[in-house]
Amino acid sequence: MTKAAAIACAIGAMQSACASAKPAVPLSDEAVRARADALIAQMTPEEKAAQLVTYFAFAIPGQEKLPDTRAAAGAGSFLFVTDPKETNHLQHVAMEQSRLKIPLLFGFDVIHGLSTIFPVPIGQAASWDMAMIEKDQSIAAAEARAVGIHWAFAPMVDIARDPRWGRMVEGAGEDPYLGSAVAAAQVRGFQGPRIGAPGHIIAGPKHFAGYGAALGGRDYDESNISDNELWNVYLPPFKAAVDAGAGNIMSAYMGLNGIPASGNHWLLTDVLRKTWGFKGWVVTDAEAVNSLKTHGYADSARQAGVRSLNAGVDMEMAFASAAFGNLPTALAAGDVTKNRIDQAVRRVLEAKIRMGLFENPYVDEAKAAKILRSPENLTAARIAAERSAVLLRNEGGLLPLDRVGVKSIAVIGGLADSPIDSNGPWVFAPNSPSTQTILDGIRSKLGASVTIRYAPGVKIPKRFNPTIADTMNGIVKRPEPADDTSGIAEAVSAAQQSDVAVVVVGEPQNMSGEMASRSTLDLPGRQQELLDAVVATGKPVIVLLLNGRPLDLKDTKAKAILDLWYPGSRGGDAAANLLFGDAVPGGKLPFTWPRDVGQVPLIYAHLTSHDPANAEKRYSNESNAPRYPFGYGLSYSTFEYANLKVDRPRIAPGGSVTVSVDLKNVGARTADEVAELYIHQRTGTAARPVRELKGFQRVTLKPGETRTLQFHLGPDELRYWNAASHDWVIDASIFDVAVGGDSTARFGASFTVGGQ
């Protein structure tokens, strides 16, 4: 489409002109901008301000038609609309009643699926399988696009190093290298090859930036992050998401080093725009502009809107009263410029143009029903749950269970038969998510061939501060603590009568996520007593965990522990397959698992202290060693690493080396291993971590099979941000290299950067 044709489409009867000139190929950047600018030239300040707000489309008592009114007035975007009939209705209002007939953009929290639910993001990260993550998010995107959603408030790419923070469940854990790989994979999955690709939606990485470093792991509290940590740890996943083409960025709620993130010009303009070259639009988290008043960063909604816009925010997410509604008066007073407002509007309109909404604003309601929860999607959900599981303990090779030898199983724990808890947080009942419990999966697999005894054991208290997700799922008030232990006796009896006990424990889904920080990592309620009582029977006990963070099981003597996370729509089938060996666990922990909450934050990539020999003796009363190290995970097979080599002993700064290692499956089962590469820079112009992840590969090997793996180490892997020089550096130094199955892998090779 030529520039002239683009302008013609934007002027007058825009819909008919554009419909007849539908581009066969994606428009060029110039054509997109021309179409946007032609519209902007016709817009009033009030119409521009309306495009810069995304409203929650909840029905408000007495104001049920409020979304219709806003759509008719030219609102730019709505969120939390997932019924295709409603999206079409609101789109018709916008296209038929608003003056300029600009289509609406619909956003939603597509965190780990819409109707087909995949494992929670921390579980997907535990798969260390980027191809799987990309595929699963593409399925989520297709389902979302089918119902009229154009944009995901995901992925969450915040690094989380304090497991007390409830939103650890939404991210990829503690490590910036793994987090960056996961962020890029999710963006590719959501968006496909380009913004506007059929069956895909715009990715909105969040929360920019540093949200995961909230003081004490308390959600929404301030983050105070050193220059070193900000650039080397917290920013890299966002940079990876931007480099992968993310069309949107969501700014964070909290204050970053004293400046609220949603009013932080350095963060939103100097870093995101000028340094990284981000071209999309920035939206705030819910009510974050108005919250600038609460922070004491603005004295009114008008000033909050001005400061946020001038800092680099392009769109406000608002419940009812939008601070950006004051932009026309602020423009008249000279507090904001026409150019800055037009810039923000242009970014929003360009997204709508690239998504093809002017040509195709509506969805096919009949087609949507066929796409949701297709058999292929549900199969992908099962595979994802199997590949995300992490085997933490397997004493005596208890797992996998012998399908012939096991005649009876006790399935114990209320979470075993709870659909909402199997799916996990950020799953919404109005979307009719597909659900399957752990108990359902075991029963389906075994049928009548094995006696299955189910006992919930104890009730589990729910979180008392319901969020939007809780409200939509019918959880609206604080429940009473569940201290009744009368069901433990029934659970013990079921275990005593069975060959093996499968105890499902963890956190209810609404105790993990937003507003779900906890001061303890203990099992909620009386679950620990239940677990201890079942273990005391002497029967073989397998613990299945439903969780979004590490939990303290108090040195349980259970023989096997399998972390399923919140496994999603086919978590029951996945659990059954894993228990009986039809699937082999190959996941690895994306965080360090502490022994005690008093150790947190506990990370593997820490600096060497002046007394490294006593690193595990930092506390006088107990060891500081983790329960499980970062990258840890067992298998039903065994692997050996040998012949670790670096292809050259020395490189110049900016050069590259290739690391190779032989990996052999020395066990009796075909299984997956995640080979993890770590480096340590011995000296430099700053102290460097004891080890850093810089490569990984998940591979499948048959019994006896050996494969030589190769890893690339170049400038991107060897550089770091130096807080003294305020720049990226590659120091002359010796670099040690290790490749193994977790972050305790022994260094066995080295190379030198610089020198003669």
Is it the case that residue 481 has pLDDT exceeding 60? no
285, 314, 440, 731: which one is catalytic?
285
Q: 18 pLDDT band (50/70/90 cuts)? A: very low
Above pLDDT 90, what percent of the chain? 88
Q: Does position 9 have pLDDT exceeding 50, yes or no?
A: no
Nearest residue to 150 via CA among 97, 118, 114: 114
Going by pLDDT thresholds of 50, 70 and 90, the confidence category of residue 473 is: confident
For 266-287, write each residue's pLDDT tens digit. 999 999 999 999 999 999 999 9
Distance, CA of 311 to CA of 301 (rounded, Å): 15
**Residue 620 confidence (pLDDT):** 87
Rounded CA-CA distance 512/463 in Å is 9
Please state the rounded mean pLDDT for residues 81-98: 96
In the predicted model, what is the mean pLDDT of residues 667-684? 98
Q: Are 182 and 174 in contact (CB under 8 A)?
A: no
User: Once rounded to an integer, what is the mean pLDDT over residues 478-487?
Assistant: 70
Q: Which residues contact 315 (CB under 8 A, 6 or more apart)?
A: 52, 53, 54, 76, 77, 281, 282, 283, 284, 324, 344, 348
CA 581 to chain centroid, in Å, comes to 28
H helix intervals, 194-321: 227-229, 236-243, 265, 291-294, 301-311
The answer to whether residue 201 scores a pLDDT higher than 70 is yes
Structure confidence by residue, pLDDT tens digits, 247-261 = 999 999 999 999 999
In this predicted structure, the answer to whether residue 11 has a pLDDT above a threshold of 70 is no
User: Tell me, what DSSP letter sits at residue 211?
Assistant: G
Q: pTM higher than 0.75 for the full model?
A: yes
Q: How far apart are CA 511 and CA 722, in angstroms?
A: 38
CA distance 66 to 43: 22
> Packing angle between helix 29-40 and helix 338-354, nearest 10 degrees?
120
pLDDT of residue 198: 96
Residue 618 banded pLDDT, cuts 50, 70, 90: confident
Return the pLDDT at 2.
Answer: 41
Which is more confident, 483 or 627?
627
- How many C-beta atoms lie closer than 10 Å to residue 688's C-beta? 21
Are 583 and 669 in contact by the 8 Å Cβ rule? The answer is: no
Above 90 in pLDDT, residue 342?
yes
- Helix ranges (H only) for 355-455 are 365-371, 375-388, 419-423, 438-446
pLDDT value of residue 162: 98
Q: Mean per-residue pLDDT for 689-711?
A: 98
CA distances from 52 to 282, 291, 309 (A): 10, 17, 10
Task: Identify the pLDDT of residue 205.
Answer: 98
Instruction: Give per-residue pLDDT as tens, 216-267.
Output: 999 999 999 999 999 999 999 999 999 999 999 999 999 999 999 999 999 9
Average pLDDT over residues 133-155: 98
Which domains, and CATH codes, for the chain?
A: 1-42 (no CATH), 46-347 (3.20.20.300), 381-591 (3.40.50.1700), 639-753 (2.60.40.10)
pLDDT at residue 66, rounded to an integer: 87
Share of the chain above pLDDT 70, in %: 93
Over 641-671, what HEC string results? EEEEEECCCEECCCCCEEEEEEEEECCCCCE
393-402, 452-461, 534-543: range with lowest mean pLDDT:
452-461
Cβ atoms of residues 252 and 206 within 8 Å: yes
Q: Please say if 29 is a catalytic residue.
A: no
**Rounded mean pLDDT of the chain?**
94
Amino acid at 695: G
Residue 214's SS3 state is coil
Mean pLDDT of 541-550: 98
Both tokens of 299, joined, read 């004295």
Over residues 716-727, the pLDDT tens digits come to 999 999 999 999
Q: How confident is the model at residue 38 (pLDDT cuts 50, 70, 90)?
A: very high
